[in-house]
């Protein structure tokens, strides 16, 4: 299985250099938001088949929102959403464009071999 994570600040068009695991791995779940300086994030997981670390076909996308106080290492990570209407609503047109561009450049073959419903998730509308 091949997978790749893209972690965006809520409205940013370009993801952070860190993945969800890198940024949220050592955080404690917040029991109360009082005193926290929370920022919103969108985490996108793309899965598929791969060989030697490279994708050969894209098959699934999951998206979740998160809020994190990076200084205090505390936050809230929401459950993954995998339904297409949820994914389309959660991502901005610029985020969809970035992901579509990245996926097509990372492996044109994987993009072409992906289901039409997968590719449609990254339409600007």
pLDDT tens, position by position, 39-91: 899 999 999 999 888 899 999 999 999 888 777 777 778 888 888 888 989 99
* Structure-block tokens of residue 59: 């098959």
Higher pLDDT among residues 1 and 72, named by residue: 1
Long-range Cβ contact pairs of 97-103 (< 8 A, separation 24 or more): 97/13, 97/122, 97/124, 98/6, 98/13, 98/14, 98/15, 99/6, 99/44, 99/46, 102/6, 103/46, 103/55, 103/58
Query: For residues 70 and 67, what is the distance between their CA atoms, to the nearest angstrom?
Result: 9
Higher pLDDT among residues 49 and 29, named by residue: 49
pLDDT at 99 (0 to 100): 97
pLDDT at 67 (0 to 100): 86
Closest to 57 measured CA to CA, from 118, 124, 121: 118
Taking the CA of residue 81 as centre, how many other CA atoms within 13 Å lie in the half-sphere pointing to its CB?
18
Kindly report the average pLDDT of the chain as a whole number: 88
């Amino acid at each position: 299985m091949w997978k790749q994570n893209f972690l965006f600040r809520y409205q940013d068009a370009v993801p952070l250099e860190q993945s969800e695991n890198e940024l949220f791995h050592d955080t404690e779940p917040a029991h109360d938001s009082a005193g926290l300086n929370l920022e919103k994030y969108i985490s996108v997981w793309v899965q598929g088949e791969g060989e030697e670390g490279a994708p050969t076909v894209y098959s699934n996308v999951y998206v979740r929102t998160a809020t994190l106080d990076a200084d205090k290492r505390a936050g809230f990570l929401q459950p993954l959403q995998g339904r297409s209407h949820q994914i389309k609503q959660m991502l901005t047109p610029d985020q969809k464009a970035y992901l579509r561009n990245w996926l097509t450049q990372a492996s044109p073959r994987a993009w072409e071999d992906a289901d039409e419903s997968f590719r449609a998730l990254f339409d600007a509308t």
